[in-house]
Structure 1
Amino acid sequence: MANKFIKESVYESLPIILKQGMETFEGRERDVILMSSLAVLSGCLPNITGVYDDKKYFSNLYLLILAPPASGKGRMNIAALLAERIHAKIKSDSQAAIDKYKSENKGNLKGCPKLDVKIVPGNVSSAKLYTHLKVSKNGIVMIESEADSISAMLKQEWGDFSDVLRKAYHHEKISLSRETDDKFIEVFNPKLSLVLSGTKNQLKPLLQSHENGLFSRFLYYYFNDGTEWKDVAPRKEDSIDRMQTFQQIGDSIYDLYQTLITNNRTISFELTNKQWDELNSTLGYANYLLNKNGKISFLSSVKRHGLMLFRLAMILSTLRKHKTVFNSEKLVCEDVDFQIAKNIVKTLLDHALTVFELFENKALGLTIKDYSTLANLPYQFERGQAIAIGRDLDIPERTMDYFLNRMLNKKVLIRIKPGFYRKIKNS
Structure 2
Amino acid sequence: MVKGAMPVVIIEGICRPHCSHAAANLEKMSGLAMYDLDHLNERTSAVKALFRALPYVPYTQTSISGRGLKVIVFLDARTPEEYPLAYAICRQTLEQIAGHPCDGQCARITQPCSCVWDTDAYYNPAPEPYPWREELAANPSLAHLLQTKNNYGSGNHGNNKDNNNGKASPIPPPTEACGYIEAFVRHFAQYHPWQKGNRHESMLAMGRSARRKGFSKEEVEKLTSVMSVEIVGNGYTLQELQKDLSAGYQYVDLSYIPQETPRSLTVLTTDTFMPVSVENDQGKEEELSIKNEELRGSTPCIPDEVYANLPDFLKAALIPARTQRERDMLLLGLIANLSGCLPLVRINFDQRFYSPHLYILIIAPSATGKGLLTLAGMLPREIENYLKGENKRKKDTYERELMEWERSNQCFKKGTQTAGASTPGPKPEAPEYYHLCGAPSTSKNQIIRRLKNNGDLGLIINATELDMISGAIKQDYGKHDDVFRAAYHHESAATDYKVDGELIFVEVPRLALCLSGTPNQLPNFMHSMENGLFPRFTIYTCGARWKYRSAAPIKGKKDYVTLYKEFSLQVLEMYYFFQQSPTEVTLTDSQWEEHTTYFDRLLNEVASEQADAPGSIVLRGALMVARIASIFTALRKYEGAMRMKEYICTDEDFHAAMQIVQTTLNHSLLVSSSLPGDEVKSKPLKSYFRIRTVVESLPTTFTYKEIKEKALTKGISERSTCRYLKSLLELKYIDKQEDRYIRIKEFTDK
Q: TM-score interval w.r.t. the shorter chain?
A: 0.7 to 0.9
In structure 2, the CA distance between the partners of 1:319 and 1:357, relative to structure 1 (3 Å rule), is same
Give the Cα–Cα distance (whole angstroms) in 1 for the partners of residues 611 and 588 of structure 2: 31
> Of 143, 162, 180, which residue of structure 1 is paired with 2:481?
162
Encode CA deviations 1:137-173: one digit per residue, 9 max, x unaligned.
3111001111101111111249840111111111111
State the AA in 1 paired with 2:609: N
Partner of 2:110: none
1:190 aligns with 2:190: no
Partner of 2:313: 17
SS in 2 for 1:136: helix
In structure 2, the CA distance between the partners of 1:183 and 1:160, relative to structure 1 (3 Å rule), is farther
Encode CA deviations 1:278-320: one digit per residue, 9 max, x unaligned.
1111111111111111164310111000000000000011112
Give the Cα–Cα distance (whole angstroms) in 2 for the partners of residues 124 and 303 of structure 1: 30
Question: Contact 1:259–1:326 at 8 Å: present in 2 too?
Answer: no
SS in 2 for 1:327: coil
State the AA in 2 paired with 1:179: K
Encode CA deviations 1:254-275: one digit per residue, 9 max, x unaligned.
1121122134xx3211100110
Partner of 2:366: 69
Give the Cα–Cα distance (whole angstroms) in 2 for the partners of residues 159 and 125 of structure 1: 5
Higher helix share: 1
Kindly report which structure 2 residues correspond to 1:143-162, keeping only aligned pairs within 5 A, or say none: 143-157=462-476, 160-162=479-481
Question: Contact 1:126–1:157 at 8 Å: present in 2 too?
Answer: no
Encode CA deviations 1:65-100: one digit per residue, 9 max, x unaligned.
111123321210101221111111012211221232
Q: Unaligned regions of 5+ residues in structure 1, if any? A: 363-427
Give the Cα–Cα distance (whole angstroms) in 2 for the partners of residues 249 and 66 of structure 1: 26
Encode CA deviations 1:305-346: one digit per residue, 9 max, x unaligned.
000000000001111221346510101100000010000000
Question: Contact 2:363–2:539 at 8 Å: present in 1 too?
Answer: yes
Give the Cα–Cα distance (whole angstroms) in 1 for the partners of residues 366 and 401 of structure 2: 51
In structure 2, the CA distance between the partners of 1:270 and 1:28, relative to structure 1 (3 Å rule), is same
Partner of 2:304: 8
Partner of 2:551: 233
Partner of 1:48: 345
In structure 2, the CA distance between the partners of 1:157 and 1:270, relative to structure 1 (3 Å rule), is farther
Kindly report which structure 2 residues correspond to 1:284-299, keeping only aligned pairs within 5 A, or say none: 284-294=600-610, 296-299=612-615
Question: Contact 1:33–1:79 at 8 Å: present in 2 too?
Answer: yes
Q: CA deviation at 1:183?
A: 2.4
Give the Cα–Cα distance (whole angstroms) in 2 for the partners of residues 300 and 277 of structure 1: 20
Question: Contact 1:94–1:115 at 8 Å: present in 2 too?
Answer: yes
Q: CA deviation at 1:31?
A: 1.1
Question: Contact 1:267–1:326 at 8 Å: present in 2 too?
Answer: no
Give the Cα–Cα distance (whole angstroms) in 1 for the partners of residues 548 and 342 of structure 2: 35
Give the Cα–Cα distance (whole angstroms) in 2 for the partners of residues 75 and 233 of structure 1: 15
Give the Cα–Cα distance (whole angstroms) in 2 for the partners of residues 255 and 311 of structure 1: 21
Question: Contact 2:442–2:478 at 8 Å: present in 1 too?
Answer: no
Instruction: Identify which of structures 1 and 2 has the higher relative contact order when contacts are C-alpha pairs closer than 8 Å and 6+ apart.
Output: 1
Q: CA deviation at 1:23?
A: 3.4
SS in 2 for 1:304: helix
State the AA in 2 paired with 1:166: R
Q: CA deviation at 1:185?
A: 0.7
Q: CA deviation at 1:349?
A: 0.2
Q: CA deviation at 1:63?
A: 0.6
> Of 525, 541, 550, which residue of structure 2 is paired with 1:222?
541
Partner of 2:90: none
Encode CA deviations 1:205-245: one digit per residue, 9 max, x unaligned.
1123212111110000111224x143242232123533333
Give the Cα–Cα distance (whole angstroms) in 2 for the partners of residues 35 and 347 of structure 1: 12
> Of 26, 32, 36, which residue of structure 1 is paired with 2:333?
36
SS in 2 for 1:51: strand
State the AA in 1 paired with 2:448: Y
Kindly report which structure 2 residues correspond to 1:116-135, keeping only aligned pairs within 5 A, or say none: 116-135=434-453
Rg bigger for which structure? 2
Q: What TM-score do you get using the length of structure 2 for normalisation?
A: 0.46
State the AA in 1 paired with 2:438: V
CA RMSD of aligned residues (A): 2.1
Q: What TM-score do you get using the length of structure 1 for normalisation?
A: 0.80
Question: Contact 2:343–2:575 at 8 Å: present in 1 too?
Answer: yes
State the AA in 2 paired with 1:120: G
> Of 329, 345, 363, which residue of structure 1 is paired with 2:661?
345
1:80 aligns with 2:399: no
Question: Contact 2:336–2:358 at 8 Å: present in 1 too?
Answer: yes
Question: Contact 1:119–1:141 at 8 Å: present in 2 too?
Answer: yes
Report which stretch shifted further, 349-358 or 174-183.
Answer: 174-183
Partner of 2:395: 98
1:301 aligns with 2:597: no
Question: Contact 2:472–2:479 at 8 Å: present in 1 too?
Answer: no
> Of 579, 583, 588, which residue of structure 2 is paired with 1:272?
588
Partner of 1:423: none
> Of 251, 254, 279, which residue of structure 1 is paired with 2:572?
254
Question: Contact 2:311–2:632 at 8 Å: present in 1 too?
Answer: yes
Question: Contact 1:98–1:114 at 8 Å: present in 2 too?
Answer: no
State the AA in 1 paired with 2:451: L
SS in 2 for 1:46: coil
Q: How many residues align?
A: 359
Question: Contact 2:490–2:510 at 8 Å: present in 1 too?
Answer: yes
Give the Cα–Cα distance (whole angstroms) in 2 for the partners of residues 260 and 351 of structure 1: 33
State the AA in 1 paired with 2:528: S
State the AA in 2 paired with 1:341: A
Question: Contact 1:21–1:242 at 8 Å: present in 2 too?
Answer: no
Q: CA deviation at 1:135?
A: 1.1
Question: Contact 1:66–1:223 at 8 Å: present in 2 too?
Answer: yes
Q: CA deviation at 1:187?
A: 0.7
Question: Contact 2:341–2:380 at 8 Å: present in 1 too?
Answer: yes
Question: Contact 1:118–1:140 at 8 Å: present in 2 too?
Answer: yes
Give the Cα–Cα distance (whole angstroms) in 1 for the partners of residues 320 and 399 of structure 2: 47
Give the Cα–Cα distance (whole angstroms) in 2 for the partners of residues 183 and 208 of structure 1: 33
SS in 1 for 2:593: helix
Q: CA deviation at 1:248?
A: 2.4
In structure 2, the CA distance between the partners of 1:158 and 1:112, relative to structure 1 (3 Å rule), is closer
Partner of 1:354: 670
Question: Contact 2:344–2:579 at 8 Å: present in 1 too?
Answer: yes
Report which stretch shifted further, 162-171 or 254-263.
Answer: 254-263
State the AA in 2 paired with 1:51: N
Partner of 1:313: 629
State the AA in 2 paired with 1:48: V
State the AA in 1 paired with 2:300: K
In structure 2, the CA distance between the partners of 1:111 and 1:53, relative to structure 1 (3 Å rule), is same
In structure 2, the CA distance between the partners of 1:159 and 1:145, relative to structure 1 (3 Å rule), is closer
Question: Contact 2:363–2:542 at 8 Å: present in 1 too?
Answer: yes
State the AA in 1 paired with 2:443: S
- Structure 1 vs Structure 2: percent identity of aligned residues? 31
